[in-house]
């Protein structure tokens, strides 16, 4: 077999240079294979409901509470952002998608708050480290919204207002 | 000399040396944990962190308040020392609000660093509620005080007492309620007030200018020299993403020690200021209009050739320009087209006050450098006399018109004025050609301070897109006026000038960390050469 | 004139049959592969947002899409052959049907209309001749496309077809010996008898080895997995049809299925009795026509009712799940099945007892036999799909080794042994 690059071993299916009987025809294995596929086929025809496929746009997967979905910013009781612009999230962010500009707050017990808080959802890798890092529980990734689509890149850059008014609509009851 | 053993190794130090410094050397530069010790301030010994074990002394001693004696055996790393330090740190943190998220000190906070290094305990002390103190008080134009974060190291108090001798700050109340603050009726408004921000090991004193603007761990820094006055304080420019956020003093015991004035710190605001020259301008139909470089060069060449057969070049340097630029200007253009170097500054302009500490009366960084290159002061009448319809005046970063009205009038007598600088001013407004250069933070260079000390500074950020390095502009001008420079790169300038001019021979071997004294070293060199 | 009309009618029947089965096969390929792989498969295309038929609408949608796509012709091709290739492939796939008998005959009084398009004496040889032509289409496509992948695909296909045609010929030759005729219809008639009194005298029982050889060769001839090296996505992108788009590509695609249906028809005709209903010869069928019709109508009614009930249940269960008109599908289909059940029941009630008469009985038998042929063909069409989703593709050297070193000797052996047996038995 001059055209074989693997030697006789490989050229005969790894079973040595000689095969015998029905094996030579691949017949036994063919029938076994046909049996397996037929079994799957018939099982699925008669038990279609048990198929593992999720009819995605019609049925939504329930990922459970551990899903890291689109971010939201929490509010204080008076509606202002809980965030104190400490930049922990933007510091820990591996994709550098959070940018915060801090400003001084007049309330003496707050002192510092974000002037702008933008997340580039296209850069975000949804690792959830910002949530881990946040000392004030101000950022969460529990909206349950994982279908993030827009028709321009700019729309993926979400700002403070958007994040504060984000809903948890995506969470399954 | 005293032989002492530190951590099992024998050292020789001078008798009476501060043990803290000795330990720092013995530990390979790693300082003992401390809050209150500062080499520029008198020892207070209040923080109790720099505990060491001295053989023969039953109790642990603080290193900062001990001196080196012959035969001393010191242990800085024993378990006993570490336990003690951990417990003292715990005391320090008892009333600390731990509001790191909103504290600007994060990243350069001694409490944070030392907790991560020596602390990391689960606290055993339960003292109920923390003592609440005054937060976020603006105690001066530039300084914010948060008394809760304070560890009462008294560095700021000692600074105002011994360095500025203004005595604004003090520690008030007693025990658990001790609180740092300014004396009633006073505010921290001396010229060096921001030094307390550097001194403060924690976030108690923070800069109002820098407040909440950037996390310090996001900042990069380069070594630089303050261009604010003839003292030439060493400093670091701290920047991020092409924006300068602050300037901090860099220790140079020969010049500014550890300090720096507030004015110098805030000079960086001019770099990103509104009055930057960001594009080349050419006066067309009486109006300065922004143009591209190609247009400017061709217009300048046309104007120069249009000045007639007797055209000549008059040059004005600047005490603000770097040594290299001044040398380039002089060596290149003085030879070209019958150039005449008028000088570097107007004579008799008003000087500021010398405060006897760091702020010099001369608020220019490179007067000495210019003088040593042969530039001299000139008067407005000299400027006028040198003029004429056939003369082209090239001004290097020098606001002649803004300083003196007579000089402003004298500018009118020239056929054309080319201004090369980085800030818009009265002179740039009357010039016919404006060539935007770079600021001190955007280029490398050398300044010579009032003591004749040459000091290097380095580029921190990029300048405006259209601005060019000044030495390149000078080289371009040379080409226009018919003289090709012998230097091709920026470092060629310094090596050429140190090789050619005896006054700068000391720079041949490079400029040291602390700068190089031109006089002392050149004298020594001459002896060597002789 | 009537002859021509009948011939045209038979051709029309064949075309309708092929293209209907083709659509079903494309659907079966997609849906079947999905079920074999535990997927759901196509189910999105719909008529009016209601009827989806488990994806059966998809092939229609696909063909519509391909019809309206731009017919791109690459710049460097040989336009004439490039355009001709898909037609060659399609035409050859279709004309093979000519000699295939899909039923016994229609008896109109004393007029007998045999149910095959061409009444050729050479029958089986025609099959061999035409199938070997089909390689031209692929080689033309590969060469005219002026693309190295298509060219390689065409070359592979040629070598493969030449190799396996010999084996196919040998298997068919052995059949000729057994049946003593080259006419396909004669062979089918032969298979209507019983072997040892209980086994249908099918080719597969007379020529088991020949059947395996024929089946394997047919897979190779139709370029189907495990012998689809002409396409070989992993090496040749898509083989000979890379440069084709829109309807030209669709022609290649459909021709592949058409040739599979033809092959399935030949397998059933040569080895599985063709239109013969096992154990029920034409005479028996005619005698008991009324009984069979009654029973099948009853069975039809029961099954239709069952389907209707199941679909009603499904409608009740899934209502509100999707939130749009797709939910109505089980209801609509259920009603259709219910009406069918009513029709069956009505037929049972009104026409009972059934007396079809002699003419009617003959027609009934013919219909049943045609149905038998269709069922067998459908099964072997499904076999092609089934095998495709079971077996991996051969490596080229394995393919050649199998063809020349194993199947050729076996084919020869089969031929000579058969010849000897036939000679001795005579």
Domain ranges of chain B: 2-92, 128-270, 281-442+465-490
Bridge partners, C334 (sequence order)? none
CB contact, 8 Å: B98 with chain A? no
**Do both C379 and C267 map to the same domain?**
yes
Would residue A64 count as lying in a domain?
no
Minimum mean pLDDT range among A17-26, C67-76, C173-182, C241-250: A17-26
Q: Are residues A115 and A39 in the same domain?
A: no
Residue B523 has pLDDT above 60, yes or no: no
Q: Is residue A13 part of a domain?
A: yes
pLDDT of residue C105: 76
Nearest to residue B324, comparing CAs of B175, B147, B443, B150?
B443
Query: What is the CA angle B122-B123-B129, rounded to 5?
Result: 140
Q: Is B261 exposed, middle or buried (0-12, 13-18, 19+ CB in 10 A)?
A: buried
Closest CA relative to residue B370, chosen from B405, B318, B441: B318
Counting residues of chain B whose pLDDT is more than 90, the rounded percentage is: 66
CB contact at 8 A, B92 and B151: yes
* pLDDT tens-digit map of C329-371: 888 888 888 888 888 888 878 776 667 777 777 788 888 888 8
Exposure string (b/e) for B320-336, b if CB count within 10 Å is 16 or more?
bbbbbbbbbbbbbbbeb
Residues A13 and A76 in one domain: no
- Provide the pLDDT for residue C240: 81
C401 and C312 together in one domain: no
Q: Is residue C133 part of a domain?
A: yes
Give the separation between CA C53 and CA C57, rounded to whole angstroms.
7
Residue for token pair 């250069």 = B437
Q: Is chain B touching chain C, with at least 3 CB–CB pairs below 8 Å?
A: no
State yes or no: pLDDT of A11 exceeds 80.
no
Nearest to C8 by CA among C16, C21, B195: C16
Nearest to B182 by CA among B159, B212, B208: B159
With tokens 């001044």, the residue in question is: B326
Within-domain flag for A169: no
C253, C223 Cβ separation under 8 angstroms: no
Greatest Cα pair distance in chain A: 91
Average pLDDT over residues B369-390: 89
Does residue C197 belong to any structural domain of this protein?
yes
Residue with tokens 């084996």: C167
Nearest alpha-carbon partner for B505 in B528, B484, B476 = B528
Q: So what's the pLDDT on residue B520?
A: 63
* C217 and C323 within one domain: no
Query: By the CB < 8 Å criterion, does A1 face chain C?
Result: yes
Last residue of a domain, one of C336, C355, C374: C355
Distances (CA, A) of B431 to B290, B395, B401, B435: 13, 9, 10, 10
State the pLDDT at residue B528: 44
- The CATH number for A93's domain is 3.30.70.3270
Residues of A in contact with C397 (CB under 8 A): 1, 3-4, 11
Across-strand partners of B179? B172
Q: Which of C35, C317, C389 to mutate to test the interface with A (most CBs of A within 10 A)?
A: C35
User: Distance (Å, rounded) from C-alpha C154 to C-alpha C344?
Assistant: 52
Q: What is the pLDDT of residue B331?
A: 86
Question: What are the Cα distances from residue A115, in Å, to A101, A160, A161?
Answer: 5, 8, 11
Q: Which helix (H) or strand (E) holds B444?
A: none
As a whole number of angstroms, the distance between CA B152 and CA B131 comes to 14
Same domain assignment for residues C116 and C153: yes
Confidence of residue B530 (pLDDT cuts 50, 70, 90): very low
* H or E segment and range at residue A140: strand A139-140
Whether A81 contacts A159, CB under 8 Å: no
| B48 conformational bin, left if phi > 0, alpha if psi -120 to 50, beta if neither | left
Residues C210 and C92 grouped into a single domain: yes
**One domain for residues C205 and C316:** no
pLDDT of residue C153: 85
Measure the CA–CA gap between C82 and C80, rounded to whole angstroms.
Answer: 5
CB–CB contact C321 A58 (8 Å): yes
Average pLDDT, chain A: 81
Mean pLDDT (chain B, rounded)? 90
ipTM of the complex: 0.79
pLDDT beyond 90 at B98: no
Helix segments in B373-456, DSSP class H: 380-386, 400-403, 405-411, 426-430
In which domain, by residue range, is C182 found? 71-276+360-425
Question: Is residue C14 included in any domain, yes or no?
Answer: no
Look-up: residue for tokens 């199998």?
C402
The shortest C-alpha distance from C414 to chain A (Å) reads 16
Q: Residues, chain B, total? A: 530
Regarding whether A92 and A45 lie in a shared domain, the answer is no
pLDDT > 90: percent of chain C: 2
Q: How far apart are CA B165 and CA B146, in angstroms?
A: 23
Helix runs in B390-503, H state only: 400-403, 405-411, 426-430, 470-480, 490-500
Least confident of B143-147, B349-353, B391-395, B456-460: B349-353
C322 CB neighbours in chain A (<8 A) are: 58
Instruction: Answer whether A46 touches C (CB < 8 Å).
Output: no
Any domain includes C53: no
Q: Is residue C30 part of a domain?
A: no
* Contact between chains at B211 and A104 (C-beta distance less than 8 A): yes
For range B321-329, the mean pLDDT = 92
Report whether A81 contacts A98 (CB < 8 A): no
Q: Determine, yes or no, domain membership for A62.
A: no
In a domain, A67, yes or no: no
Is A touching C (3+ C-beta pairs, cut-off 8 A)?
yes
Q: Give the integer Cα–Cα distance in Å for B320 and A146.
A: 58
Listing DSSP states for C72-117 in one string gives ---TTS-HHHHHHHHHHHHHHHHHGGGG---SSEEEETTEEEESSS
Note the pLDDT of residue B484: 86
The CATH code of the domain at B2-92 is 3.10.20.740
Locate B133 and state its tokens.
């103190």
Pairwise CA distance, residues B344 & B52, whole Å? 57
The pair phi, psi for residue B447, each rounded to 5°, is -115, 145
> Which contiguous run of DSSP H or E holds residue A157?
strand A157-158
Specify the pairing of strand B453-457 against strand B445-448.
Answer: antiparallel
Query: What is d(CA B190, CA B169) in angstroms, rounded to the nearest whole number?
Result: 11
The Cβ of residue C76 has, within 10 Å, a number of other Cβ atoms equal to: 10
Task: Output Rg (C-alpha) for chain A, integer angstroms.
Answer: 28
Domain tally, chain A: 2
Is the same domain home to A106 and A158? Answer: yes
For residue B404, what are its two tokens?
Answer: 């003196």
Measured between CB atoms, does B101 come within 8 Å of chain A?
yes
Quote the CA–CA distance of C112 and C114 in Å, as a whole number.
6
Dist. CA C197–CA C203, nearest whole Å: 16
Residues C421 and C348 in one domain: no
Residues C108-137 have a mean pLDDT of 80
Same domain, C219 and C183: yes
Instruction: Please count the structural domains in chain C.
Output: 2
Cross-chain CB nearest to C390 (options A11, A13, A37) = A37
Token pair in block for residue B442: 């955007």
Of C414, C375, C385, whose CA–CA distance to C275 is shortest? C375
Interval B187-225: pLDDT, tens: 999 999 999 999 999 999 999 999 999 999 999 999 999
Structure confidence at residue B421 as a pLDDT band (50, 70, 90): very high
Question: For residues B265 and B246, is the Cβ–Cβ distance under 8 A?
Answer: yes
Residue C106: strand pairing partners? C113
Helix (H, G, I), strand (E, B) or coil at B501: coil
CATH of the domain spanning B281-442+465-490: 3.40.50.740
How far apart are the C-alpha atoms of A82 and A80, rounded to whole Å?
6
- C150 and C200 assigned to the same domain: yes
Q: How confident is the model at residue B529 (pLDDT cuts 50, 70, 90)?
A: very low
Whether residues C203 and C338 fall in one domain: no
Residue of higher predicted confidence among B333 and B360: B360
Q: Which long-range contacts (CB under 8 A, 24 or more apart) does B517-520 make?
A: B517/B451, B517/B452, B517/B453, B517/B454, B518/B368, B518/B372, B518/B448, B518/B452, B518/B453, B518/B454, B519/B452
Task: Write out the two tokens for B519.
Answer: 């006089």
Last-in-domain residue among C329, C355, C381: C355
Give a yes or no: residue A82 inside a domain: yes
Q: Please check whether residue C418 lies inside any domain of the structure.
A: yes
10 Å CB burial of residue A14 (0-12, 13-18, 19+) is exposed
Last residue of a domain, one of C355, C375, C406: C355
For residue range C123-158, list pLDDT tens digits in order. Answer: 788 888 888 888 888 888 888 888 888 888 888 888
The pLDDT of residue B526 is above 50:
no
CA–CA dist B332, B396 (Å, integer): 13
pLDDT of B327: 92
Q: How many CB pairs under 8 A join A and B?
A: 30
Helix orientation angle between C148-179 and C208-221, rounded to the nearest 10 degrees: 160
What is the rounded distance in angstroms from the CA atom of residue A133 to the CA atom of residue A140? Answer: 11
| Chains with 3 or more CB pairs under 8 A to chain A | B, C
Task: Give φ, ψ of B232 to 5 degrees.
Answer: 70, 50
Return the top range by mean pLDDT from C136-140, C180-184, C284-288.
C136-140
In a domain, A57, yes or no: no
User: Is B217's CB within 8 Å of A91's CB?
Assistant: yes
- CA neighbours within 13 Å on the CB side: how many for B91? 13
Helices and strands, counts by H and E, chain C: 16, 4
- Orientation angle between helical segments C357-388 and C289-318, nearest 10 degrees: 50
The arithmetic mean of pLDDT across residues A85-111, rounded, is: 90
- Is C117 contained in some domain? yes
pLDDT 10s digits, B256-301: 999 999 999 999 999 988 999 999 999 988 899 999 999 999 999 9
pLDDT digits (tens, 9 = 90+) for C23-39: 888 888 888 888 888 88
Query: Do A41 and A76 share a domain, yes or no?
Result: no
Q: Tell me if chain C has a CB within 8 Å of the CB of A122.
A: no
Average pLDDT of C389-408? 84
B100:A136 CB<8 A:
no
Question: By C-alpha distance, which of C399, C355, C145, C187 is closest to C272?
Answer: C187
Concatenated DSSP letters for B136-174?
Answer: SEE-SSSEEE-GGG-----HHHHIIIIIS----EEEES-
Residues A117 and A148 grouped into a single domain: yes
Structural fold of domain B128-270: Alpha-Beta Plaits (3.30.70)
Predicted confidence (pLDDT) per residue in A34-51, tens digit: 898 988 888 888 887 788
pLDDT confidence bin for C47, thresholds 50/70/90: confident
Q: Could you tell me the two tokens for B357?
A: 């500490």
With beta carbons under 8 A apart, name residues in chain A contacting B149: none
pLDDT of res. A148? 84
Alpha-carbon distance of C423 to C180, in angstroms, equals: 12
In this structure, are C199 and C119 located in the same domain?
Answer: yes
Task: Based on the fold, state whether residues C173 and C297 are members of the same structural domain.
Answer: no
Determine, for residues A104 and B217 on separate chains, whether the beta-carbon distance falls below 8 Å: no
Per-residue pLDDT at A169: 60
How far apart are alpha carbons B153 and B161 in whole angstroms?
Answer: 14
Task: Answer whether residue B236 shows pLDDT above 90.
Answer: yes
- Domain ranges, residue A40: 7-49
Q: Residue C352 has what pLDDT?
A: 66
Q: For the packed helices C124-144 and C79-95, what is the interaxial angle rounded to 10 degrees?
A: 160
Residue with tokens 């002037």: A115
Look up residue C307 and give its two tokens.
């389907």
């Amino acid at each position: 077999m001059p055209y074989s690059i693997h030697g006789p071993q490989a050229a005969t299916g790894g079973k040595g240079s000689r095969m015998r009987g029905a094996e030579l025809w691949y017949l036994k294995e063919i029938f076994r294979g046909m049996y397996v596929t037929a079994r799957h086929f018939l099982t699925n025809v008669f038990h279609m409901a048990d198929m593992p496929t999720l009819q995605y746009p019609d049925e939504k997967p329930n990922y459970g509470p551990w899903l890291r979905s689109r971010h939201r910013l929490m509010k204080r009781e008076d509606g202002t952002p809980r965030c104190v612009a400490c930049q922990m999230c933007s510091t820990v962010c591996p994709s550098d998608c959070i940018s915060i500009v801090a400003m001084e707050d007049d309330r003496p017990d707050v002192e510092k708050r974000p002037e702008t808080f933008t997340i580039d959802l296209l850069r975000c890798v949804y690792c959830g480290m910002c949530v881990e890092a946040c000392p004030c529980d101000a950022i969460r990734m529990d909206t349950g919204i994982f279908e993030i689509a827009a028709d321009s890149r700019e729309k993926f850059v979400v700002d403070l207002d958007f994040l504060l008014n984000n809903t948890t609509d995506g969470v399954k009851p | 000399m005293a032989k002492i053993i530190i951590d099992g190794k024998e050292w020789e130090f001078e008798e009476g040396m501060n043990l803290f410094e000795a330990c720092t050397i013995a530990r390979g530069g790693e300082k003992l944990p401390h809050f209150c010790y500062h080499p520029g301030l008198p020892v207070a010994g209040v923080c109790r962190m720099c505990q060491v074990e001295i053989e023969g002394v039953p109790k642990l001693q603080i290193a900062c308040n001990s001196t080196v004696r012959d035969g001393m055996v010191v242990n800085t790393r024993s378990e006993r020392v570490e336990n003690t330090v951990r417990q003292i740190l715990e005391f320090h943190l008892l009333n600390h609000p731990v509001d790191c998220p909103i504290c600007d000190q994060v990243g350069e906070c001694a409490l944070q660093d030392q907790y991560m290094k020596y602390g990391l305990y689960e606290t055993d002390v339960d003292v109920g509620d923390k003592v609440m103190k005054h937060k976020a008080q603006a105690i001066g134009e530039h300084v914010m005080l948060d008394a809760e974060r304070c560890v009462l190291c008294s560095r700021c108090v000692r600074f105002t007492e011994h360095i500025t001798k203004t005595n604004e700050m003090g520690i008030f109340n007693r025990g658990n309620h001790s609180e740092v603050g300014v004396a009633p009726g006073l505010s921290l408004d001396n010229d060096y007030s921001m030094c307390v921000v550097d001194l403060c090991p924690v976030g108690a004193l923070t800069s109002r200018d820098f407040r909440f603007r950037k996390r310090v761990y996001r900042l990069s820094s380069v070594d630089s020299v303050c261009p604010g006055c003839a003292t030439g304080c060493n400093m670091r420019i701290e920047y991020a993403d092409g924006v300068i956020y602050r300037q901090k003093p860099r220790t140079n015991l020969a010049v500014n020690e550890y300090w720096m004035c507030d004015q110098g710190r805030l000079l960086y605001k001019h770099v990103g200021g509104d009055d930057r020259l960001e594009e080349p301008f050419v006066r067309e139909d009486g109006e300065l209009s922004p143009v591209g470089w190609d247009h400017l060069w061709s217009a300048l060449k046309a104007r120069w050739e249009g000045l007639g057969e007797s055209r000549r070049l008059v040059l004005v340097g600047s005490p603000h320009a770097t040594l290299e630029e001044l040398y380039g200007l002089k060596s290149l253009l003085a030879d070209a087209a019958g150039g005449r170097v008028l000088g570097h500054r107007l004579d008799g302009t008003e000087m500021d006050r010398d405060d006897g500490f760091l702020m010099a009366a001369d608020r220019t960084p490179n007067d000495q450098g210019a003088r040593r290159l042969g530039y001299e002061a000139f008067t407005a009448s000299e400027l006028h006399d040198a003029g004429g319809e056939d003369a082209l005046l090239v001004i290097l970063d020098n606001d002649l018109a803004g300083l003196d009205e007579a000089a402003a009038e004298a500018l009118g007598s020239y056929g054309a004025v080319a201004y090369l600088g980085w800030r818009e001013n009265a002179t740039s407004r009357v010039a016919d050609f404006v060539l935007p250069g770079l600021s001190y933070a955007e280029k490398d260079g050398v300044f010579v301070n009032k003591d004749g000390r040459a000091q290097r500074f380095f580029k921190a950020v990029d300048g405006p897109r259209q601005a060019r390095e000044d030495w390149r502009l000078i080289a371009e001008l040379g080409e226009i006026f018919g003289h090709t420079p012998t230097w091709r790169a920026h470092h060629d300038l310094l090596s050429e000038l140190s090789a050619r001019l005896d006054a700068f021979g000391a720079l041949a071997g490079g400029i040291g960390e602390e700068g190089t004294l031109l006089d002392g070293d050149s004298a020594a060199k001459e002896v060597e050469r002789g | 004139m009537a002859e021509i009309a009948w011939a045209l009618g038979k051709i029309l029947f064949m075309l309708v049959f092929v293209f209907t089965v083709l659509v079903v096969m494309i659907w079966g390929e997609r849906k079947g592969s999905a079920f074999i792989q535990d997927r759901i498969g196509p189910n999105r295309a719909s008529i009016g947002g209601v009827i989806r038929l488990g994806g059966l609408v998809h092939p229609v949608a696909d063909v519509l899409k391909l019809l309206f796509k731009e017919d791109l012709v690459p710049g460097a091709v040989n336009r004439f052959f490039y355009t001709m290739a898909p037609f060659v492939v399609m035409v050859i796939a279709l004309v093979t049907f000519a000699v295939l008998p899909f039923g016994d005959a229609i008896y109109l009084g004393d007029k007998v209309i045999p149910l095959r398009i061409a009444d050729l004496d050479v029958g089986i040889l025609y099959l061999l001749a035409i199938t070997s032509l089909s390689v031209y289409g692929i080689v033309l496509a590969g060469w005219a496309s002026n693309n190295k992948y298509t060219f390689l695909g065409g070359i592979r296909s040629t070598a493969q077809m030449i190799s396996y045609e010999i084996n196919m010929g040998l298997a068919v030759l052995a059949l000729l010996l057994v049946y003593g005729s080259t006419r396909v219809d004669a062979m089918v008639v032969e298979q209507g008898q019983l072997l040892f009194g209980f086994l249908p005298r099918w080719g597969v029982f007379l020529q088991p080895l020949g059947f395996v050889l024929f089946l394997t060769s047919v897979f190779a001839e139709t370029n189907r997995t495990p012998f689809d090296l002409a396409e070989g996505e992993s090496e040749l992108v898509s083989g000979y049809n890379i440069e084709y788009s829109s309807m030209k590509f669709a022609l290649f695609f459909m021709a592949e299925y058409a040739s599979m249906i033809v092959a399935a028809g030949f397998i059933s005709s040569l080895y599985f009795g063709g239109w013969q209903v096992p154990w029920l010869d034409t005479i028996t069928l005619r005698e008991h026509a009324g009984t069979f019709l009654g029973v099948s109508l009853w069975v039809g009614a029961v099954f239709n009712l069952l389907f209707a009930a199941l679909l009603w249940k499904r409608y009740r269960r899934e209502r509100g799940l999707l939130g749009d008109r797709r939910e109505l599908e089980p209801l609509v289909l259920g009603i259709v099945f219910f009406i069918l059940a009513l029709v069956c029941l009505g037929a049972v009630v009104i026409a009972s007892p059934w007396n079809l008469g002699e003419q009617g009985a003959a027609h009934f038998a013919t219909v049943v036999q045609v149905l038998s042929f269709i069922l067998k063909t459908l099964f072997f069409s499904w076999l092609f799909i089934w095998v495709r989703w079971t077996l991996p593709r051969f490596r080229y050297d394995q393919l050649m080794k199998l063809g020349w070193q194993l199947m050729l000797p076996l084919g020869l052996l089969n031929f000579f042994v058969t010849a000897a047996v036939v000679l001795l038995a005579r």
